[in-house]
Amino acid sequence: MTALAAMLAGPLARVLADLAERIARGELDRHALEAETRNAIARILAGMERERLQVARDVLLGEMTAESWLQRNWRPLVAVVAFVSYWYVIVVLPHLVAFGLMPPPRFGETGLANLHMLTLVSIGGYMGARTVEKVARMTVAFRRPRHADRMRRGQGGES
């Protein structure tokens, strides 16, 4: 059983049992049952996605507020190392070979394909992580002023 199916099994079983009970009482017809089932599955999946995003947000907030310099700055360091290594392979190495200072490297087709895949994964992963981080910052910045306004007005969120 996949992880998604395992996570859906409990909440979905409760929803299906409730729907079966409503059908037995005659409250639902076929079309209403289909709509209710789709809505229930969509709500469950949305809740799971919300939980996943909250965990990702907590990880990013933990990294941004960490006391360790390395933990806060590992992404920029990865970007600098990737830039320097790609710059070496793309700019410096061909010039060293062209001026006879170094023999041509023998990557072969597999080596070039692997280098290309490494480039795609590292740059794409870095850009994706930066995008998520920026969205998290914007979300926090968007929420903060409203909370501060409520605190100033004395509505501090008490229930």
Q: How far apart are CA 97 and CA 84, in angstroms?
A: 18
Q: What does pTM read for this prediction?
A: 0.40
Mean pLDDT for the stretch of residues 51-69: 80
pLDDT band at 125 (very low <50, low <70, confident <90, very high): confident
Of 6, 1, 8, 2, nearest in space to 41 by CA: 8
Residues 6+ apart with CB under 8 A from 58: none
- One-letter identity of residue 83: F
Q: What is the mean pLDDT of the chain?
A: 76
Q: Is 149 a residue whose pLDDT tops 60?
A: no
pLDDT in tens, 62-74: 777 777 777 677 7
- One-letter identity of residue 138: M
